[in-house]
Amino acid sequence: MYHAKKIGVFISHIFGTYQQGVCQGIIDRAVEYGYTAEIFTSLDGENLGSYARGEESILHIPNYDSFDGVIFASDTYISQELRRKILKQLQTLSCPVVEIAVKDAHFPVISLENNSMTGGLTSHFLTVHRASRICFLGCSTESYISDVRESYYRDALKKHGKTPAENDIYHCSYDSGDVNRALDFFCRTGTPKAVVCYNDRLALMFLASALAAGYRVPEDIAITGCDDTPDGRNASPMLTTVSFPVYELGARSVENLLSLIRRGIPDAAGPAAELLIRNSCGCSHFGNANAVFFSQTLSDRIASLENSILCSMNMSSSLQHVTDLDAGMELLTDFLPQLEHCREFYLCLYADWDSVSSHILALTNRVETASDTDTILLKFAYKNGKRLPECSFLKKNLLPDYLYADSDCAYIYVPLYFEDKKFGYIALAYEDNRIDYQFRLVQWQININQMLQSVCEAKRTGMLVDRLEDIYMKDALTGLYNRHGYDRLEEPLLNRALSENLPLTAFLFDMDGLKSINDTYGHSEGDFAIQVLGQAIESTAAEGDICARFSGDEFYMLTAGLSEKDVKKRAQSIAAYLHNYNKLSSKPYDISCSCGYASVRPTAGFGAEHVRELFSLADRQMYLEKERHHAARR
């Protein structure tokens, strides 16, 4: 049974090791206390250009009233603008919020304080290894944490009566050339005895650069990292670093939140990091790492990434020409098995996901039905290896009640958007609540967003094409077909009459007294009268009939399948329509017309020239009726 008690989690880049560790800790500890986690994640800061404007649509997904509390991992947001908007939204909530952050927190905060361990590593070099010169390698692209770690490095030196020299601190990016420049910078005034690096990734890059330059590590230069990665544990020499207990951080954040919910007071601070002394600092450490296993792990990782890229390319090429949503969903079914350990996958669309701008509606003379903003369409549902029927549901929950009924899953929600256009969201859950959100899902999200945008573009283009066809094929005054429209439809109607042995009837209508209406009441009234006659003719037409106005006050109708009795009834119906209109109209003039018609049962060889002859016969009959009308008025 799906838990009634919910914890909302806002976190960015959930495919990261840190984020997945935190989320797993949150999920597991929440379940222990009878809560479930709903995780809302985004891709801010991925340098996606104008496409990324839609990231803030993450704010429109949650049902905030359903939360007992919220955990906000604010430090995971690269985009400070998105972080600010989420913060502003969370500040309006009545439920408590716990913030996972190192600095600039706005709620009761919990943090994994491993930055001070940079000072611990510096002190280790000074006290254990008696290092005469210790440098610090910072990260220019992650300065908001790098600067904090640098400050602890400086403090440790100061406590031992030292200060960094001019060539002792360098900030670089994750670029091998930049790291090589860092090594050259440090060595300008002699080889440093030790380098404290911002994190393991930068430390391993610096290790590779030092080894390539002929230095021995740790004999010539000792190196340390931070954040304890598998790569560092399997390096040679093994990297001295700082622990990174992110799972415990997530679990502690739940405990803090529950303490706020129950007592209004947060618990103690987050988990503490510790130094992990290995070989790269110069200490002797005998680990259990086996290079064979790690090599196989790396090979598997590379193969997985290559497969992910190829699958994404295949998915992108398959979806890029989709213009029908149902066809897109069928294709999506084929790709679902690629998501390993995915137990549930749902694609939910807002009611107005494919709405058209007012500008396009105005251009196409369309009116779009107002959407029910409280309704969501579950367009694609996949659970336990089976696809479920689509349905609509009210946005009191983020999924239909029947899916929640027997669920014990923590769901991850990802927004679907294209630039400023909000489509909806994806919801997914994993087997045994073990998060396995791979980077390929980022590619999935972008591919699906682009497919939805293509469907919207196809709808908009279709409306514009229909409008262009109307302009080309229809009379602007009456909406009936013009000469172009009539010419395009005449041949199919004639072929149907021939193949089904149906009688063909040509009608010709001419308004009575149009000149008098124009001269007496103006041409706008004359145009109005023409429109009324067009409506009268169109009101009697059956499917497949061609009603047209080429110019002036003459109208044409070509039909197939009318009996002689039906032909007379058609003409009488038009006269009756005008008669009834005149009785109800407040106009100072009556609207009437003269009608002529001619019928034939076409045989082989009957073509367009014979249709023109049929209209000529109808024209002569129409003028005979017009003369009768003139005589009657005299």
CATH number where 529 lies: 3.30.70.270
Quick check: is 475 in a domain?
no
The band of 196, judged by pLDDT with boundaries at 50, 70 and 90, is very high
Question: Of 232, 185, 239, nearest to 213 (Cα)?
Answer: 185
Residue 126 and residue 97 share a domain: no
Quick check: is 368 in a domain?
yes
Residue at which a domain ends, from 226, 253, 272: 226
Prior bond to 237 cis, omega within 30?
Answer: yes
Between strands 109-110 and 97-100, the pairing is parallel
Answer whether residue 467 shows pLDDT above 50: yes
Are 82 and 56 a contacting pair, CB within 8 Å? yes
Residue 608 and residue 533 share a domain: yes
Number of Cα atoms under 13 Å in the Cβ half of residue 177: 0
d(CA 165, CA 142): 23
Residue 78 and residue 218 share a domain: no
Residue 194 and residue 88 share a domain: no
What would the pLDDT profile of 107-156 be if each residue is shown by its tens digit? 999 988 788 899 999 999 999 999 999 999 999 988 878 999 999 999 99
Residue at which a domain ends, from 176, 211, 226: 226
What would the pLDDT profile of 556-604 be if each residue is shown by its tens digit? 999 999 999 999 999 999 999 999 999 999 999 999 999 999 999 999 9
Q: Name the average pLDDT for the chain.
A: 90
Residue 487 and residue 380 share a domain: no
Cα dihedral 467, 471, 473, 474 in deg (nearest 10):
100
The DSSP-derived string for 29-50 is: HHHHTT-EEEEEEE-TTS--GG
Residue 417 and residue 495 share a domain: no
Kindly provide the b/e burial profile for residues 479-518, where b requires at least 16 CB atoms within 10 angstroms of the residue's own CB: ebbbebbbeebbeebbeebbeeebbbbbbbbbbbbbeebb
Q: What is the C-alpha radius of gyration for the chain, rounded to an integer number of angstroms?
A: 38
Residue 453 and residue 307 share a domain: yes
Residue at which a domain ends, from 427, 460, 493: 460
* Predicted pLDDT of residue 1: 44
Answer whether residue 47 shows pLDDT above 60: no
Overall domain count for the chain: 3
Q: Of 200-214, 282-296, 326-340, which has the strongest mean pLDDT? A: 200-214
Helix (H) or strand (E) holding 286: none
d(CA 621, CA 619): 5
Residue 509 and residue 411 share a domain: no
Answer whether residue 268 shows pLDDT above 70: no
Quick check: is 471 in a domain?
no
* Predicted pLDDT of residue 445: 87
* Predicted pLDDT of residue 278: 93
Quick check: is 254 in a domain?
no
**In sequence order, which residues have a C-beta less than 8 Å from that of residue 92 and are 6 or more positions away?**
none
Residue 123 and residue 72 share a domain: no
Are 29 and 255 a contacting pair, CB within 8 Å? yes
Quick check: is 74 in a domain?
yes
Quick check: is 283 in a domain?
no
Residue 125 and residue 101 share a domain: no
Amino acid, res. 230 = P
Is the model more confident about 111 or about 617?
617
What would the pLDDT profile of 238-255 be if each residue is shown by its tens digit? 999 999 899 999 999 999
Range of the domain at 201: 117-226
User: Which CA distances in Å does 454 have to 325, 411, 574, 604?
Assistant: 9, 28, 45, 46
Is the model more confident about 467 or about 276?
276
Quick check: is 296 in a domain?
no
Quick check: is 321 in a domain?
yes
pTM above 0.95, yes or no: no
Residue 442 and residue 315 share a domain: yes
Q: How many CB atoms lie within 10 A of CB 374?
A: 10
Tallying the residues shown for the chain, one arrives at 634
What CATH number is attached to the domain comprising 138?
3.40.50.2300
Residue 539 and residue 620 share a domain: yes
State in Å, rounded, how far the first CA of the chain is from the last one: 88
What would the pLDDT profile of 217-226 be if each residue is shown by its tens digit? 999 999 999 9
Q: What angle do CA 233, 239, 243 make, to 5 degrees?
A: 70
d(CA 268, CA 191): 43
